[in-house]
Every structure is written in C-alpha cells, then in structure tokens.
Amino acid sequence: MTTSTRVHNFCAGPCTLPVSVLEEVRDEILDFDGTGMSIIEASHRAAAYDAVHMNALADFRSLAAVPDDFAILFLQGGASLQFAQVPMNLLAEGETAGYVNTGTWGKKALGDAKKIADVYEAWTDPDGAFDRMPTAGEIEVRDGARYVHLTSNETIGGIRFTDLPSFDVPLVTDMSSDFLSRAIDWDTHDLVYGGAQKNLGPAGLAVVVVRRDRLSPHGRSLASYLDYASHESNDSMSNTPPMFAIYVMGKVLRWMLAEGGLSAFETRAAERASILYGAIDNSDGWYRCPVDEASRSQMNIVFHLPDKDLEKRFVAEAAEAGMVNLKGHRSVGGIRASVYNALPVDSVRTLVEFMDDFRSANG
C-alpha cells in the first residue's frame, strides 16, 4: 500500500496518525531492532520494551514540559476509567470536588464521579445548548472543594476553553481531545488526563499526569490497579502495560519533537482551525457554525448546511472525494471535522476547496 491510497481522515477518534510513524511500525513488525520478533511479542520485562517504555515517558515529559513533582502514568481503561479513578485517588471519604458540565464528556465525568464521592455540579449551561464554555466567574467553587474538574475541549459539542480558568483550588482537566495541542499550565493543576487515541496514538492507553504529593494514602482502600501510587512506584509496569499503544504513541511523541515540539503543534492547530472557520464564516451563512465564537474548538469543528438532505449528500460526496468521517455525532447532527495533531494542513485545504465547490453546485 502506498501513501497515495490514504484518505483524508477527519475521524473524531481514533485519530489519523503520521504516515512516517505507520511506515516505521510496518518496517518493525516482524523484527523489532534485531530481536527477531515484534515488540508486541516481546516480554514487557525485556530490555527492548523497557527502552521503548522509558523513552515514551521521557518524551511525554519533555514535550508537555511536565515538572518533576508530577508523575506520568500509562493506564488502560481509556479516559472513561479516569472518570471514576480520579475521585477514587484524589478524594478521601467525605471530601468533595466541583465538576463543570460543559457537554457530553463533562456530564459523563460528573456522573461517574458521583458514584464514587459526594461531588457537585459546579456549572451547567443554563439554556441547555452547550454551545459555549463558562467564564471563571460562573463556576461555583465551594468551601472545602479539593479540585475543580474541567473538560478542556468538548469533542462532540465542538467547544473549548480558549483559556483555562484558574481558582484557589487546583484543576483536574480531561484533555483527551486536545492533548498536547496546547501548552499545559502545571501550576494550576493537580492532575491532567486523556485517552491517547484522539491526538497521540492508538486506542487502549490513557495518560494521567498527577502531582506526586496527591498520591499519598488518604484512607480509601483501593484495588491495586485502581491505585495511582502502585503504578507510579513501578513506572506504569506493575502489570502488563498496553505495549503496542505505548510503542506507537512513543513514535508519535518522537515525531512531534522532531517537528518542533508543542509550540509547532499549537501553531498548526490554529492554522487548521482558521482555514476551516474562515471558509464557514465567508460562506454568507450557507455553512453555519452553531457554537459561540469565543469557545470555538480548534480540534473538532462542527457546522451545519442549510438542511439535512444537503448534509447527507455533503458527507457522501466528500467520502467519494477521499475525505472521510465527516458526519457529526448522532446526538447533535450536522458535520464535524476533527483536525487533530497528525492531520496535515493540506487535508484541511482540500476540505475547504470541496466545501466551496459543493456550495457553488448546490447553493
């Protein structure tokens, strides 16, 4: 298979990956580094895997500028497990935290945390539209709250905190869908987490970055897999780690470093978003973005056409032209173009040309 057979993949997750990374994986799949086997057949205690694992940890730390007083954990269960595992680890019996309900994912995080601890909803969109992020002043921080939980980017609604708010209380942020596409302010955080499959690699891996002094025992008795401390003390190898996902993510992190690091990806994200929103805004209202301008996501760009039939044809004709996974989430409809780190800016240019042609033909 040559690269010319590849589509422009606007999938909301799992994401498109750099071709150079996929080619390396292909080249190493029968014989990793002279071991005579692939990395997924190797022992996770072997030197070959150990190097892959430790390099991925180090490269993540370097890319995200993670300070030494934070531990980086590679866990299974996706970001979804973190909805429960975060309160299990950060809240002692009787403690509380505020959860900001900004849409599908914020609501899920709140729902699962409620099953673990006595947490509260710190904000929800009063008119139920979930088309904007709240200001810091709108978020309720109760006395005694141990953290405020945010979703930096709502993947389905297509909104993001352009600037994360900060409070006297630390933040815990689900960054699944804009992970390592923007700088992270570690001073305001106790914990950041995300599934790898939106921006960093294949599914099967979540990355949790947690302030080490929050790992101290707090009275809850946790099964060892659920206890962050047991992963931290074993470099996330207390059981068999998701080796293939870590191996591929490690290659993506290397690629990101070689391409200029986090700031280069921040620039690319802004460029992709400005091209796409530009096309929407310059269409005389034919394409319409339903979210508040100040909260527009740079990763998941949602828009509507004048009617549902046109949207259906748009998705079908785009797919014929090699642009796939543009259908909006079933809960909101419309079109969603997910433009993650590894999506070339050229894919966005191709989409925008298609949008102009489609409008001329149907407008």
Ligand X SMILES: *Cc1c(COP(=O)(O)O)cnc(C)c1O
Residues contributing to the site for ligand X (CB under 6 A)? 13, 78-80, 105, 151, 155, 174, 176-177, 195, 198
At closest approach, how far in Å is the CB of 105 from ligand X?
4
- State which residue, 101 or 355, has the beta carbon closest to ligand X: 101
- State which residue, 78 or 334, has the beta carbon closest to ligand X: 78
- State which residue, 59 or 174, has the beta carbon closest to ligand X: 174
At closest approach, how far in Å is the CB of 31 from ligand X?
31
* Residue of 135, 123, 162, 203 whose CA lies nearest to 298: 162
The active-site residue out of 198, 227, 251, 327 is 198
State whether the Cα torsion 281-284-286-289 is positive or negative.
positive
The active-site residue out of 105, 125, 178, 251 is 105
Query: Nearest residue by C-beta to ligand X?
Result: 78
Q: Is 198 one of the catalytic residues?
A: yes
The active-site residue out of 59, 112, 125, 174 is 174
At closest approach, how far in Å is the CB of 85 from ligand X?
11
Sequence-distant (≥ 6) Cβ neighbours of residue 40 within 8 angstroms: 243, 244, 247
At closest approach, how far in Å is the CB of 338 from ligand X?
10
Q: Is 105 one of the catalytic residues?
A: yes
- State which residue, 178 or 358, has the beta carbon closest to ligand X: 178
> Do 277 and 301 touch, CB atoms closer than 8 A?
yes
* Residue of 174, 245, 244 whose CA lies nearest to 208: 174
With 0-12 CB in 10 A as exposed, 13-18 as middle and 19+ as buried, what is 47?
Answer: exposed
* Residue of 133, 151, 148 whose CA lies nearest to 195: 151
- State which residue, 175 or 256, has the beta carbon closest to ligand X: 175
| Angle subtended at Cα 17 by Cα 191 and Cα 39, rounded to the nearest 5 degrees | 85
CA–CA distance, 286 with 246 (Å, rounded to integer): 43
| Buried-exposed string 254-290: b where 16+ CB fall within 10 A, e elsewhere | bbbeeeeebeebbebbeebbebbbebbeebeebbebe
At closest approach, how far in Å is the CB of 151 from ligand X?
5
Q: Is 309 one of the catalytic residues?
A: no
At closest approach, how far in Å is the CB of 176 from ligand X?
4
Q: What is the 3-state secondary structure (H, E, C) of 302-340?
A: EEECCCHHHHHHHHHHHHHCCEECCECCCCCCCEEEECC
> Do 196 and 175 touch, CB atoms closer than 8 A?
no
Peptide bond before residue 14 is cis, with ω within 30 degrees of 0: yes
At closest approach, how far in Å is the CB of 78 from ligand X?
3
Cα-Cα end-to-end distance for the chain: 38
State whether the Cα torsion 158-162-167-173 is positive or negative.
positive
* Active site residues per annotation: 105, 174, 198
